[in-house]
Amino acid sequence: MNSWRLEIQHETGFSYDGRVGASYNEARMTPRDEPHQAVLDARVAVWPAASTYRYADYWGTVVTAFDVHTPHERLAVTASATVETLPPGDLLAPATWADLALSDTVDRWHELLLPTPRTALDEELTALAEELRGAHRTPHAAALAACERVHTEVAYVAGSTGVQTDAVQAWRQRSGVCQDLSHLTVGLLRAMGVPARYVSGYLHPTPDAPVGETVVGQSHAWVEWWAGRWSGFDPTNGVAIGERHVIVGRGREYGDVPPLKGVYAGPPNTGQAVEVKITRRR
């Protein structure tokens, strides 16, 4: 099994319409150590310079928190990491529909079975979830079918939606970005009774990428579901999670894992810049 070694640089921040007196911020931009992912190095730099501290949030995502008390018109955050990743493993999962209906299972994953503002479904999508469940003997097969349906019917169109777009809107317009396709898939899974979570991270855009070439990468989103064990799939690209994917955080939806958020005192925010560069080193 051949691993990849990826170097990632993620630059983001805010610009303001004037001087901001102080800001209080959280960055979720640090990859996690996982069974299929080893973090060799990770750091977060902030400008204007500020002291930072790290903690793991409720969902296990690494958070870099910092307060900036120097007056500033721009906030810049740069996260860099070196990560080793593995190809996809087998996607088999043993749980039955009866297993997922057990009270112990429902209680264990209760928060990951409930709809959220971005993953809630309408009647049409609820009926689709019921159709997918009825057509497959196992939760795992139904989950894969849901991913395939979303991948087939909803086109990835950059800029077609915003961070507040929900699953129903993306389905009705049959277009969205990775965040929307993931919210839609998570909503379908939960409506079928399959515990599901939203995953944020990075994606190298090129299968079989050459070593040493730096490319424009992506801040990306995909899904995981529990059917006796956790399995991951990227509905935007229609592939299992593998060596091109780097996990940063998990939650119920995007609102649990935004790369950068904060509050400040001062004039309006005039925009957020984002740039991700990825280099395969091995």
pLDDT at 269 over 90: no
Q: At residue 175, does pLDDT exceed 80?
A: yes
3-state secondary structure of 129: helix
196 has pLDDT over 90: yes
Q: Same structural domain for residues 268 and 172?
A: no
Q: 79: which 2 tokens?
A: 């996260």
Same domain? 228 vs 120:
yes
Summarised one tens digit per residue, pLDDT across range 18-28 is 999 899 999 99
Domain-embedded: residue 92? no
Say how far apart CA 243 and CA 207 lie, in whole Å.
Answer: 9
- Tell whether 81 and 160 lie within a shared domain: no
Span 222-240, average pLDDT: 96
pLDDT score of 143: 97
The stretch 30-48 carries a mean pLDDT of 95
pLDDT at residue 67 tops 80: yes
Question: Does residue 131 fall inside a structural domain?
Answer: yes
Question: In a 3-state reduction of DSSP, which class is residue 147?
Answer: helix
| Shared domain check, 238 and 113 | yes
Does some domain include residue 107? yes
Helix locations, the chain, DSSP H = 97-101, 103-108, 123-134, 139-153, 167-173, 178-191
CATH number at residue 215: 3.10.620.30
C-alpha span between 168 and 178 (Å, rounded): 15
Q: What is the mean pLDDT of the chain?
A: 95
Domain of residue 135, residue span = 97-255
Do residues 128 and 31 share a domain? no
Based on the fold, state whether residues 74 and 138 are members of the same structural domain. Answer: no
pTM given for the model: 0.95
Q: Looking at the predicted structure, is the pLDDT value of residue 238 above 80?
A: yes
Residue 43: predicted pLDDT: 97
Let me know whether 64 and 162 are in one domain: no
Q: Are residues 230 and 274 in the same domain?
A: no
pLDDT band at 65 (very low <50, low <70, confident <90, very high): very high
